[in-house]
Structure 1
Amino acid sequence: MREFDYVIVGAGAAGCVLAHRLSATPGVTVALLEAGGSDKHPFIQMPKGLAKVMADPKRTWQYRADPEAATAYQPEIWARGRLLGGSSSVNGMMYVRGQPADFDELARVSSDDWSWRHIGAAYRALEAHELGEGETRGGNGALRLTLADRRTPLTEAMIAAGSAMGLARKEDVNDPDNAVCVGYASRTIWRGRRQSASTAFLDPVLHRANLQVIADATVDRIRFEGKRAVELEVLSGSERMVLRARKEIILAAGAMASPGILQRSGVGAAAQLAQLGIQVVHDSPEVGRNLREHRGIIQQWRLKVPMSDNSEYAGLPLLRNMLRYYTARTGAMASAAYEVGMWLKSDRSVPRPDIQFLVAPFSFDYSTQRTALEKQPGMSIVGYPLRPTSSGEIHIRSKNPHELPELKPNYRVTSEDRALMIRTVQLAREFAGQAPLRAFIEAETFPGLACASDDAIIEAYDKFGTCGYHAVGSCRMGSDAASVVDPELRVRGVEALRVVDTSIFPQIPSGNTNAPTMAMAWRAADLIMREAAR
């Protein structure tokens, strides 16, 4: 049996940050476990390789959502990274901090430890932005960030159209002011390479003697002595090993996996665990509940002029772009999923943006299930309400750690969510109709202007919508006794066990979740070290 002070489960955005910070103290031993393998593959490092990586079952968990009315009873896959770096090694590389109000609201339901004052400081500490250090932006951290750099008359028209709608154009769209804005997207890309959490936070510290990274290690369950978490049973191939934690076990496996580890270990709804023959350590009914996810729709327009990227990813242009990438690390293959970001209010009366658009100079061929781009020039927007009020569930089906859980999205069950989904489509059409962009557009091609009524828009979401890959909430943090973890991320009802990943957010921070997860983990390390110092 091997012993460490801290054993961290999951080498994704949160786990890599935690390993980076906790192992910085000499004499404190840290083990970081990852169910997948290496992230050193050319398609992972190359930003535009993301489509191939996301579809690779060797490098992703392919969670299958239960069909429901909101998905037109079709199957839907929620993919997550299964490799070092976790989902930060397979995502679209959008770096969206969320709004300061997100964290101040989190503080109101937990503690001041999670207010923007602390989270803003965490962002400044971890960032190395190409714009340099500023009052609210980091310039010397481990995570290198850049702005979208493939700027054309079309992308400039996109930003001008946002300005025409009253959105402030920002050089850095992450400036923290809770305001509507438009600008070139911030990206986790540096010199043409993906900056995953493992690249930024883990690779530079692998030399530390007090840090051990154990890949291809699937956690079966946590062992308790009384109420204290002391050991992990881990599967690696056909072998089973046990790791002991002298101080704490920290789950950083994400909103999809951390609930399952807790449930297999006896922490969850007692009745459900009993049905599976699992001995109850602590009855915690909210484990696996309160799951929140973005439900997006991709709207598309045909362009009058050949300014889109549709032709860049097929045939000779693709070969040319691949050659350019491998010789200079620039060009189409060095860009992230989207070029332009927009944060809008559904109505002037709402206090802060509640809808996000990510805008791209390309359009998908829906006849290929969006696996290829259209041959004609086009542009697209993926849009979604930022803070959904509908919640789903995720629960284990058995004791088998290799069996994927039951996933119920439960999209759009509230009237608030349905109204915002409809408004998202309407605002995208207003955006496309602005003079700076209208000159480039021939017609809306998807879902098409025939999709006009509220019912037709919801039907389009159901048939053609997409999950945002931004799930949170399944191990909710709060100051109330029903929450799964307390304001210091300690699992209620047991000892020496924390959860540090997206599952602790009661609501999705306003945007993509990679950046908030890293900032949350940075702050969590402060709290863990503060407690150790006591």
Structure 2
Amino acid sequence: MEFDYLVIGAGSAGCAAAARLSEDGRHSVALVEAGGKDTNPWIHIPVGYFKTMGNPATDWMYRTAPDPGLNGRDIPWPRGKVLGGSSSINGLLYVRGQAEDFDGWRQLGNEGWGWDDVLPYFTKAETWKGEPKSQDRGTAGPLSVSPTRLKRDVVDYWMDAAEAAGYRRNSDYNSGDQEGVGYFQLTLDGGRRCSSARAYLKPARGRKNLHILTHAQTERVVIADGRATGVVVNRNGQSETLKARREVILCAGAIGSPQILMLSGVGNGADLAEQGIETVCHLPGVGRNLQDHLQARPVFKTSLGTINVEINNLFKQGLIGLRYLLTQSGPMTMAASLGTGFLKTDPRMATPDIQFHIQPWSADKPADGPHKFSGFTASVLQMRPESTGHLKLASKDFRDHPEIHPNYLATETDQRTLVAGIEIARKIARTSPLADYISEEHAPGAGVALGDYAATLDWARDTSVTIYHPTGTCKMGRDSQAVVDPQLRVHGVDGLRVADASIMPVITSGNTNAPCIMIGEKLAAMVLEDAGK
């Protein structure tokens, strides 16, 4: 059980990294995944995220600690525990982020991570199947990116109302210019989800130099004389050591990667001592700088048909299932949202600071099923929160989930921006032509007056939830809180890198799956360049 490279975590970045590292056949690669194979059919049906989130067979089932910013609530934090990781259970939404996000990373001292540096890896990863075509969109990558196959009148009217309210259309928010409203782009291939496992691992499965280990949870990285030499994994209740001749690469995500580092003795020495873990490398930033997107979910009742009423009896559900079976079309190809908007809460801003997810359905909790009335949701989030949280080991047992402290809405800017986003959602809903089809605002509702800042903020604290974008906990940089350098090498430990959402010094403006795949692509290129030297 000895390999050139050990890639820990078969998620968005890990699948890309392992596939590229094994591509030319020169290096042996083991991809180690704590979850199982992606054989659950609901993984591959786009709307299946309703069945895979909250399912312990595919979801880590994390939960936050009670959070002061949410009026003391604790909330679920779904993360994928299966081949493909969170790309196998997410909402299929493909968003690169703003060019300014990556230029900002470069300005922090992370050379090689500006927009012009990362764009080639975005294009290398994808095959864009929509319009418009441009040199910034990939045509031969493993990841299928498609326009939505489903449209609904309520989403079209929302976009028309947004235009009437002064916002513009954008036919390709992934071009580097994000501002405007439009339909989401999806990691969709025909009528099936295109997870990172399907994109990268399926074509690579026959390679003799690529070994995929499932149901293998990493206990710790083995570090000897300042160098990572392997990992200890637990399979079927038994611990075994896998050796790395060249490097160990953690791609276990913004929760898993810092947890593994801390269990390995890499982290804040005082925190490790509390758990009886000997400090191998004092890196106080491990588990810090936790950032996430918090979504508020205004809901409106409408006279238009929405998914709520399209699936409100078994006969309709049967017809929808039959349509998907025969044509791979219809509501079962629906992503988590159809429409989006990247807008500014203040026109003087250089770039948008809020994002909308327009959903032609509504629910108090998705797990409880849709409302009985016809409704839609205008979910809104602040894209660049100032508030940062942290992770903390609950124990030195690798099976125990770490404590998650998101620290939502801890700054005045974050509070003000989210309230402004909610106000914009309500104003668009009161603008024609959308207003002509809205019978009632269900949430926040009549009890929260438009313009009442305190009541709106309190409603947001009581009801907002994650939109599943944890990042930043092994941040890239050269300051005292940085965990990895711009080559993603862990400071102070040779032969060890991290490549996933945790390395983001600042969260990207939008959904994080696409940037994570880019990170996996760029990591592989850097590792292979070093190997060539």
> Alpha-carbon deviation of 1:112?
2.8
- Partner residue of 1:424? 421
| Aligned equivalent of 1:309 | 307
Shift of residue 369, structure 1, vs aligned partner = 6.8
Give the equivalent residue in structure 2 for 1:439: 436
Choose which of 356, 363, 376 in structure 2 pairs with 1:379: 376
Q: Deviation of residue 327 (structure 1)?
A: 1.9
What SS class does the counterpart of residue 247 from structure 2 fall into?
Answer: strand
Contact 1:9 1:251 in 2 (8 A): yes
Distance in structure 2 (CA, Å) of the matches to 1:529 and 1:439: 58
Matched, 1:451 2:448: yes
Q: Deviations over 1:204-258 (max 9, x none)?
A: 1111111000000000011111100001100011221111101100000000111
Percent of aligned pairs with the same amino acid: 36
**Residue 112 of structure 1 aligns to a residue in which SS?**
coil
> Does 2:253 align with 1:284?
no
| Contact 1:70 1:461 (C-alpha < 8 Å) held by counterparts | no
Residue type matched to 1:270 in 2? G
RMSD in angstroms over aligned alpha carbons?
A: 1.3
Residue matched to 2:175: 175
Structure 1 segment 101-250 matched on structure 2, within 5 A: 101-131=100-130, 133-178=133-178, 180-250=179-249
**Residue 449 of structure 1: CA displacement?**
3.3
**Counterpart of 2:58 in structure 1: which amino acid?**
R
Deviation at 1:138, TM superposition (A): 0.8
SS of the residue corresponding to residue 357 of structure 1 reads strand
- Cα shift readout 1:370-418 (whole Å, capped 9, x = no counterpart): 6211121111111110010001111212121110001111111111101
User: What residue number does 1:531 align with?
Assistant: 530
Q: Which amino acid aligns with 2:368?
A: T
CA distance in 2, matches of 1:514, 1:134: 21
Determine the C-alpha separation between the residues in 2 that align with 1:110 and 1:239.
Answer: 43
Shift of 1:481: 4.3
Distance 1:289 1:407 in 2: 11
Relative distance call for 1:505 and 1:218 in structure 2 (3 A) is same
Output the CA distance in 2 between the equivalents of 1:125 and 1:439: 44
State the alpha-carbon separation in 2 of the partners of residues 301 and 358 from structure 1: 14
Q: Which amino acid aligns with 1:177?
A: D
Q: Name whichever of 498-507 and 517-526 sits farther off.
A: 517-526
Mapped pair 1:357 → 2:356: yes
Matched, 1:340 2:339: yes
Q: CA deviation at 1:510?
A: 0.4
Give the aligned length.
529
One-letter identity of the residue aligned with 1:464: T
* Residues 311 and 317, structure 1, Cα contact 8 Å, conserved in 2: no
Q: Deviations over 1:93-148 (max 9, x none)?
A: 11011000000001111333101112111111111111265211112111011111
CA distance in 2, matches of 1:135, 1:449: 48
Q: Which residue of 1 aligns with 2:412?
A: 415
For 2:310, the aligned partner's letter is: E
Contact 1:259–1:395 (Cα < 8 Å) also in 2: no
Structure 1 residues 301-333: Cα deviation after superposition (integer angstroms, max 9, x where no partner): 11123x211122332211110111122211101
How many angstroms apart in 1 are the aligned matches of 2:168 and 2:39? 39
Contact conserved, 2:110 with 2:476, CA < 8 A, in 1? no
Specify the SS of the correspondent of 1:61. Answer: coil
Tell me the SS of whatever aligns to 1:114: coil
Distance 2:255 2:64 in 1: 11
Distance 1:130 1:117 in 2: 23
TM-score normalised according to structure 1 size: 0.97
Distance 1:458 1:48, change over 3 A: same
Q: Which amino acid aligns with 2:60?
A: W
Q: Which moved more, 1:194-203 or 1:371-380?
A: 371-380
Unpaired runs of 5+ in structure 1? none
User: Secondary structure in 1 aligned to 2:208?
Assistant: coil
Task: Write the distance in 1 (CA, Å) between the matches of 2:237 and 2:359.
Answer: 45
Please state whether the residue corresponding to 1:381 is helix, strand or coil: strand
Query: Shift in Å at residue 198 of structure 1?
Result: 0.1
CA distance in 1: counterparts of 2:380 and 2:152, whole angstroms: 22
**1:189 Cα deviation after fit:** 1.2
- Alpha-carbon contact 2:388-2:408 (below 8 Å) kept: yes
Q: Match of 1:257?
A: 256
8 Å CA contact retained: 1:16, 1:201: yes
> Which secondary structure state, in structure 2, belongs to the residue aligned with residue 234 of structure 1?
strand
Letter in 1 for 2:413: E
Moved more, 320-329 or 338-347: 320-329
One-letter amino acid matched to 1:238: G
CA contact (8 A) 1:192 1:335 kept: no
Match of 1:449, SS state, is: coil
Alignment partner, residue 97 of structure 1: 96
* SS of 2:295 mapped into structure 1: strand
Question: What are the ranges of 5 or more consecutive residues in structure 2 without an aligned counterpart?
Answer: none
Q: Distance in 2 between matches of 1:513 and 1:140?
A: 22
Kept after mapping to 2: 8 A contact 1:173/1:184? no
Letter in structure 2 aligned against 1:385: Q
Shift of 1:152: 3.6
CA contact (8 A) 2:152 2:306 kept: no
Q: Give secondary structure in 2 for the equivalent of 1:213.
A: strand
Q: Cα deviations across residues 151-202 of structure 1 (Å, max 9, x unaligned)?
A: 2432221221222233331222212124x21111101111111110000111
Stretch moving more, 453-462 or 281-290: 453-462
Tell me if the contact between 1:110 and 1:477 (Cα under 8 Å) persists in the aligned partners: no
Partner Cα distance (1:332, 1:95) in 2: 19
Q: How far, CA to CA, are the matches of 1:463 and 1:445 in structure 2?
A: 15
Moved more, 273-282 or 193-202: 273-282
User: Does the CA-based 8 Å contact 2:149-2:333 persist in structure 1?
Assistant: no
Distance 2:109 2:53 in 1: 34
Helix, strand or coil for the counterpart of 1:255?
A: helix
Give the Cα separation in 1 of the matches to 2:211 and 2:140: 26
Shift of 1:497: 0.2
Q: Assess if the C-alpha contact under 8 Å between 2:50 and 2:367 holds in 1.
A: no
Whole-Å Cα distance in 2 between the matches of residues 449 and 29 of structure 1? Answer: 62
CA contact 2:300–2:442 (8 Å) conserved in 1: yes
Q: Secondary structure at the match of 1:80?
A: coil
